[in-house]
Amino acid sequence: MEVAIQKTIGRGVWRRWASRLVRLVLPYDVDAPLSAQELEKSRRYYAEAYEQSVGENRQPTSEYETKYAEMAKAAAEAAQIREQIERFVSRYGLRDRPVLEIGSGRGYLQDAVQNYTGLDIPSSVCRFYHKKFVLGSATAMPFADDSFEGGWSIWVLEHVPNPEQALRESRRVMRNNAVILLFPAWNCTGWAAQGYGVRPYSDFDLRGKLIKASIPIRSSKPFRAADRIPNRIVRDIASRLGPTTFCYRRLQPNYKEYWEPDSDAVNGIDRHEMMLWFRSRGDECLNCAGLSGSVLQKGDPLIIRIRK
């Protein structure tokens, strides 16, 4: 009996130390769980709001919204987002298939396919659509299971407080063998919110100056590799034991001043971590071959084939 008790105590101590080690190696955040009642309340809210004819909404555009939209459009053009989506649509035969854009903004990509549905939270953007627009949250989509054969989400998930719930919803509304392209701003930083990368040193106190001075080091390839690769190796091993929990870095957004891209990001999301989340559920990454499928991933969009 004493031997059994000692073994049990030993296992408990080992688990505690293993848990502490994992927290040191993986300083990540996870979603706060949402109840079924919360999800249904959110879905019902947006469904009812949409039924009240969002097309009649003509709210004036704020200065912040205008500035945000202008920067977003310029960034999309520089990154050739429209061209990337057109290639994606053509390659996977989505031109006349039911397709969902999650976080569709002003509908910049609504003409990429014929059977398009845009989903976003602000009702003020509905005036920019000539195709279907639905008011709703990425974490509680007002669609039935298996509604779409394809979809995409561009620079959105880094703004979603519970990104794993958004991934669950994305899988839920996609049909078996559907193809989805996900392209959040990968690995958003904590210093973007206060504009440390673009503001002069004179704007900051001593602590702020030290933060700004550290950015070239923290942005360097060796530093990023040392920060991410150990985490990716551990997470890759864990993902082979069953479905993983989606881990990310929670950030403090700035909604008052849009200093630079991703100033308003609430999450820092790693591409490799998102790939593992889908892969551990039986889905297939269609652009993760070679180095891009290993722990040395680049910052390209993630293209996933859903396997239900």
Please check the confidence at residue 83 and state whether its pLDDT lies above 70.
Answer: yes
**Least confidently predicted of 3-7, 167-171, 218-222, 229-233:** 3-7
pLDDT of the residue at 14:
54
Widest pairwise Cα distance in the chain:
75
Please check the confidence at residue 46 and state whether its pLDDT lies above 70.
Answer: no
Please check the confidence at residue 181 and state whether its pLDDT lies above 60.
Answer: yes
Contact (Cβ atoms closer than 8 angstroms) between residue 263 and residue 191: no
pLDDT of the residue at 57:
45
C-alpha to C-alpha distance for 155 and 265, rounded to whole angstroms: 10
pLDDT digits (tens, 9 = 90+) for 144-164: 999 999 999 999 999 998 999
pLDDT digits (tens, 9 = 90+) for 185-237: 999 999 999 999 999 999 999 999 999 999 999 999 888 888 888 888 888 88
Average pLDDT, the chain: 83
pLDDT of the residue at 110:
96
pLDDT of the residue at 45:
65
> What tokens were used for 155?
């620079």
pLDDT digits (tens, 9 = 90+) for 12-37: 555 555 444 444 445 578 888 777 78
What's 259-290 look like in SS3?
A: CCCCCCCCEEECHHHHHHHHHCCCCEECCCCH
* Residue 235 burial (CB count, 10 A): 22
Closest alpha carbon to 92 in 174, 214, 210: 174
- Domains of the chain plus CATH, in order, are 33-184 (3.40.50.150)
> What tokens were used for 303?
């293209």
**Identity at 295, one-letter amino acid code:** V
C-alpha to C-alpha distance for 189 and 271, rounded to whole angstroms: 14
